[in-house]
Amino acid sequence: MTLTEKPTRARYVAMLMIFVSVVITFLDRSNLSITAPAMRAELGIDTVHMGWLLSAFGWTYAFCQIPGGWLVDRIAPRYLYPIILILWSFATVMLGAVSGIVTLIALRLLVGLLEAPSYMINNMVVSSWFPDRERAGAIGFYTSGQFVGLAFLTPLLLLLQSHYGWRTVFYTTGVGGIVWGLIWLWAYRSPRESTRANAAEIAEIEAGGALVDLGSVQSRKERRSITWAEFSTVLKYRKLWGVYLGQFAVTSCQWFFLTWFPTYLVEFRGLSFVKTGLYASIPFLAAFVGVLLSGIVSDRILRSGASLGVARKTPIICGLLLSSSIIGANYVDSPELVIAFMSLAFFGNGLASIGWSLISSIAPRNLIGLTGGTFNFISNLSGIATPLVIGYLAQGGNFAPGLTYVAVVAILGALSYILLIGKVERVEP
């Protein structure tokens, strides 16, 4: 190497790989919402039992976050990601082969358990590959995968369902995940182990704050057992709780769209499956634009000289306040106006979806995985609460109280970011 060697850009390959992984992850956690109306009609499932089925993923996904964080701190992403991805994709395939409500719930519990470490792995990969000045943009880009995949693929999956039945949705998304898991195992490496990144790029990103040894096989060999003091660290700081509670609000809105939204359009608004696919894609496109804009705006605010806290919190707070506009759908009748309010709310949700950038900046240096696990555990309790609350509130066929619940939680989340977090800086126990 010479002193003038031009840095490579291998980190963008890593970012693209996470993006594809997120697309698959969210298809596998939301495919049930796509099939729910058809499944209810064929299998005779009422709204309460469908609420339990839709929430099953959230139970294991939330409660396995902290064990998942412990696992992420000890097994390199190159190996852990494909193992869990292939296993949960196989469970997804099996969802298409069964009919009993108990078996369906059991398989969704299994998918939630296996997906639990996924976002912590994403965060670890970005923390190791990207400097501070680029991290929010990278997080915004890969987070957009959760919306762009649903925006473009939901209509296709609904079309597939209308021609070949709801079971084909699970077969298609599950097989896609298995294939991608094999590709990840073959292609991904940490910065120190990558053959794509030269020394100049590694030096550049390390100087900018990237934790380049994070996620390497060698770093796992040096990890010691977690202590109760470390566990208490991720629970005792107010600034961490501000992010945890704020993200609960973000994911509450998100889980409405990932679970009940297609059913809301079909059963409450009276749209056909084909129209539902077209209308449902619009809010996901709006969220896609929102999450891309949030990362770009956040990094630009930071580069303009504003503090890290202002740069990271501004899009999130504005996004949560916009998410509360979902309540407007209760006061209009035309499908176009309903979708307009839903799109505005989900655009806001996308704008608020860079909470992981704060975890990257404030988590204790040696507890990135555990902090991320706690963050995802608390926030994804909404994956349990939102489907169940709306399922019970909608027993009479009225979804309006459920939308009010989502709006109120969004406002409380904005207040959490405003009042609890304070200065954004890394926690140093």
Q: Using one digit for the tens of pLDDT, what is the confidence trace for 231-246? A: 677 777 788 888 899 9
Angle between helix 101-115 and helix 11-43 axes, rounded to 10 deg: 170
Query: At residue 3, does pLDDT exceed 70?
Result: no
**Domain span including residue 292:** 11-419
**Count of H-run helices and E-run strands, the chain:** 21, 0
| Residue 424 resides in a domain | no
| Residue 26 resides in a domain | yes
Predicted local distance difference test score (pLDDT) of residue 275: 61
Residue 61 to residue 147: CA distance in whole angstroms:
19
Q: Which of 350, 383, 382, 356 is nearest to 369 (CA)?
A: 356
Which helix (H) or strand (E) segment holds residue 153: the answer is: helix 145-164
Tokens representing 87 are 């296993």
Predicted local distance difference test score (pLDDT) of residue 217: 53
83-103 average pLDDT score: 91
pLDDT range class, residue 91, cuts 50, 70, 90: very high
Predicted local distance difference test score (pLDDT) of residue 175: 95
For all residues of the chain together, what is the average pLDDT? 82
Return all residues near 279 (Cβ < 8 A) that are at least 6 apart. Answer: 265, 271, 335, 339
Query: At residue 221, does pLDDT exceed 60?
Result: no
| Signed CA dihedral, 7, 80, 243, 347: sign only | positive
CATH number, domain of 42, equals: 1.20.1250.20
| Residue 5 resides in a domain | no
Query: At residue 139, does pLDDT exceed 70?
Result: yes
On whether the CB atoms of residues 36 and 355 are closer than 8 A, the answer is no
Burial category of 214 from C-beta neighbours within 10 Å (exposed 0-12, middle 13-18, buried 19 and up): buried
pLDDT range class, residue 115, cuts 50, 70, 90: very high
Query: At residue 134, does pLDDT exceed 70?
Result: yes
| Residue 184 resides in a domain | yes
Predicted local distance difference test score (pLDDT) of residue 285: 86
pLDDT range class, residue 79, cuts 50, 70, 90: very high
| Residue 165 resides in a domain | yes
Looking at the structure of the chain, the number of domains it has is 1
- Rounded (10°) CA dihedral 357, 251, 60, 27: -90
Query: At residue 2, does pLDDT exceed 50?
Result: no
On whether the CB atoms of residues 252 and 409 are closer than 8 A, the answer is yes
On whether the CB atoms of residues 224 and 352 are closer than 8 A, the answer is no
9-30 average pLDDT score: 88
Query: At residue 229, does pLDDT exceed 80?
Result: no
Of 60-64, 121-125, 184-188, 232-236, the poorest mean pLDDT is in: 232-236
| Residue 3 resides in a domain | no
| Residue 156 resides in a domain | yes
More confident residue, 21 or 295: 21
| Residue 429 resides in a domain | no
